[in-house]
């Protein structure tokens, strides 16, 4: 009969990956088995598991996580479309309102949290002086996407010029003014390099867009024949 350690090892084989996770989850959340819970937690988080194409995958690799930071609660309505798209693709989204000027310590703490917790892309949204994207980019090597927001007398052009003019070595991928949807899709495309399920969903959506465009073309052609 296997010991618990041997059983965890057996269930962790590639052919039983899902059963292994179920076993690990049982002990992770079983308050009456402290030893098993700690063992499973350590095994899941730290032990590479051989999967397809010889790639070493841990449970942390399976998590699809992004962060969205805005500078003011007044920006929320302009950011929500990005949240909806990311969640539709099954991505975990951490949303924060942290001004680069008024809450710089809290902002730095959250960026460091993103550096450590498996976050793959950070989306930032700011208007006017729009320092937020650059401040975030200066504290991480994770991809940072900037959304310039309208709301001032310059209608977002000030934010666009601020975000896009980053110094060499500290890039921010800048989308259109109020372009939160494309910020989400850009984040997904970055994550699709690692996550095949996102890549498949993106390709399917592109195919649907193509079909809709071709149908519209056929309707125009038919109307003027």
Element (H, E) at 76: helix 76-88
Query: Which pLDDT score is estimated for 138?
Result: 98
pLDDT in the model for residue 144:
98
Instruction: Look up the CATH architecture of domain 63-197.
Output: 3-Layer(aba) Sandwich (3.40)
- Residue bearing tokens 């310039």: 148
Enumerate residue ranges in the chain where pLDDT < 50. 1-2, 13-17, 29, 31-32, 47, 49-55, 57-58
Q: pLDDT value at position 41? A: 55
Q: Cα(79)–Cα(64) distance, rounded to whole angstroms?
A: 19
Angle between the N-to-C axes of helices 34-46 and 4-11, in degrees from 0 to 180, rounded to the nearest 10: 30
Nearest to 194 by CA among 58, 67, 88: 58
Per-residue pLDDT at 20: 53
Whether residue 127 contacts residue 151, with contact meaning beta carbons closer than 8 Å, is answered with yes
């Amino acid at each position: 009969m296997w010991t618990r350690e041997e059983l965890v090892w057996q269930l962790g084989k590639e052919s039983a990956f899902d059963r292994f996770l179920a076993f690990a989850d049982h002990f992770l959340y079983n308050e009456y088995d402290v030893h098993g819970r700690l063992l499973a937690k350590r095994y899941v988080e730290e032990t590479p598991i051989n999967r397809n194409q010889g790639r070493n995958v841990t449970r942390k690799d399976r998590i699809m996580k992004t962060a969205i930071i805005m500078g003011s609660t007044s920006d929320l309505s302009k950011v929500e479309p990005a949240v909806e798209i990311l969640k539709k693709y099954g991505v975990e989204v951490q949303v924060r309102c942290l001004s680069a000027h008024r809450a710089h310590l809290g902002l730095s703490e959250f960026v460091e949290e993103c550096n450590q917790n498996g976050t793959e892309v950070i989306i930032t949204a700011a208007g006017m002086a729009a320092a937020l994207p650059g401040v975030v980019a200066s504290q991480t090597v994770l991809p940072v996407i900037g959304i310039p927001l309208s709301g001032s007398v310059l209608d977002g052009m000030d934010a666009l010029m601020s975000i896009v003019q980053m110094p060499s070595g500290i890039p921010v991928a800048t989308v259109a003014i109020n372009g939160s949807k494309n910020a989400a899709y850009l984040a997904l495309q970055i994550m699709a390099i690692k996550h095949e399920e996102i890549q498949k969903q993106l390709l399917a959506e592109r195919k649907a867009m193509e079909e809709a465009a071709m149908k519209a073309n056929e309707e125009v052609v038919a109307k003027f024949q």
